[in-house]
Amino acid sequence: MYKIEKGIPIPTHRGKNSKYPFFEMEVGDSFEVETLDKTSGNTVASIRNCYHNVCRYNENLKDIKIAIRVTSDKTVRCWRIK
Protein backbone atom coordinates (compact mmCIF):
# COMPACT_ATOMS: atom_id res chain seq x y z
CA MET A 1 0.00 0.00 0.00
CA TYR A 2 1.03 3.57 -0.61
CA LYS A 3 0.47 6.35 1.90
CA ILE A 4 -1.48 9.29 0.46
CA GLU A 5 -0.22 12.68 1.65
CA LYS A 6 -1.85 16.07 1.21
CA GLY A 7 -0.35 19.54 1.06
CA ILE A 8 3.11 18.58 -0.27
CA PRO A 9 4.22 21.38 -2.67
CA ILE A 10 5.70 20.56 -6.07
CA PRO A 11 9.35 21.69 -6.28
CA THR A 12 9.93 24.66 -8.57
CA HIS A 13 12.80 25.18 -11.01
CA ARG A 14 12.86 21.65 -12.33
CA GLY A 15 15.86 21.26 -14.62
CA LYS A 16 17.76 24.11 -12.96
CA ASN A 17 20.78 21.97 -12.22
CA SER A 18 22.65 20.55 -15.18
CA LYS A 19 25.92 18.72 -15.44
CA TYR A 20 26.66 20.83 -18.53
CA PRO A 21 27.22 24.63 -18.28
CA PHE A 22 24.25 25.82 -20.38
CA PHE A 23 23.38 28.53 -17.83
CA GLU A 24 26.83 30.12 -17.92
CA MET A 25 27.32 30.13 -21.70
CA GLU A 26 27.13 33.22 -23.89
CA VAL A 27 26.86 33.25 -27.69
CA GLY A 28 30.14 31.96 -29.14
CA ASP A 29 31.12 30.01 -26.00
CA SER A 30 31.70 26.27 -26.14
CA PHE A 31 32.64 23.35 -23.94
CA GLU A 32 34.24 20.00 -24.66
CA VAL A 33 33.11 16.62 -23.37
CA GLU A 34 35.34 13.56 -23.42
CA THR A 35 33.50 10.46 -24.63
CA LEU A 36 33.44 7.60 -22.16
CA ASP A 37 32.45 4.82 -24.54
CA LYS A 38 33.46 3.61 -27.98
CA THR A 39 30.85 5.67 -29.81
CA SER A 40 30.52 9.42 -29.49
CA GLY A 41 26.84 9.15 -30.46
CA ASN A 42 25.88 8.35 -26.88
CA THR A 43 27.66 11.47 -25.61
CA VAL A 44 25.97 13.64 -28.26
CA ALA A 45 22.60 12.18 -27.29
CA SER A 46 23.31 12.79 -23.60
CA ILE A 47 24.16 16.46 -24.19
CA ARG A 48 21.16 16.96 -26.48
CA ASN A 49 18.75 15.33 -24.02
CA CYS A 50 20.09 17.34 -21.11
CA TYR A 51 19.80 20.55 -23.15
CA HIS A 52 16.19 19.85 -24.13
CA ASN A 53 15.22 18.97 -20.56
CA VAL A 54 16.84 22.10 -19.13
CA CYS A 55 15.21 24.34 -21.76
CA ARG A 56 11.81 22.71 -21.30
CA TYR A 57 11.64 23.66 -17.64
CA ASN A 58 13.44 27.02 -17.66
CA GLU A 59 11.73 29.96 -19.38
CA ASN A 60 14.99 31.96 -19.50
CA LEU A 61 16.63 29.38 -21.78
CA LYS A 62 13.85 29.02 -24.38
CA ASP A 63 15.71 31.15 -26.95
CA ILE A 64 19.11 29.48 -26.57
CA LYS A 65 20.32 27.39 -29.50
CA ILE A 66 23.28 25.03 -29.42
CA ALA A 67 25.32 23.09 -31.96
CA ILE A 68 26.99 19.80 -31.06
CA ARG A 69 29.80 18.31 -33.14
CA VAL A 70 32.08 15.31 -32.79
CA THR A 71 35.55 16.88 -32.85
CA SER A 72 37.69 13.72 -32.58
CA ASP A 73 37.44 10.04 -31.69
CA LYS A 74 37.35 10.92 -28.01
CA THR A 75 35.74 14.37 -27.77
CA VAL A 76 32.48 16.14 -28.50
CA ARG A 77 32.15 19.94 -28.43
CA CYS A 78 29.00 21.98 -27.79
CA TRP A 79 28.68 25.64 -28.91
CA ARG A 80 26.05 28.23 -28.04
CA ILE A 81 25.04 29.77 -31.37
CA LYS A 82 22.06 31.89 -30.28
pLDDT score, position 44: 86
Q: Is 60 inside any structural domain?
A: yes
Neighbouring C-alpha atoms within 13 Å toward the C-beta of 40: 14
Residue 21 amino acid letter: P
Which residue range forms the structural domain that includes residue 38?
30-80
Q: Is 57 inside any structural domain?
A: yes
pLDDT score, position 51: 84
**Domains contained in the chain, number:** 1
pLDDT score, position 17: 64
Tens digit of pLDDT for each residue in 8-58? Answer: 887 665 555 678 888 788 999 999 988 876 667 788 888 888 888 777 777
pLDDT score, position 4: 81
Give the 3-state secondary structure of residue 66: strand
Q: Give the pTM.
A: 0.69
Residue 68 amino acid letter: I
Q: Is 12 inside any structural domain?
A: no
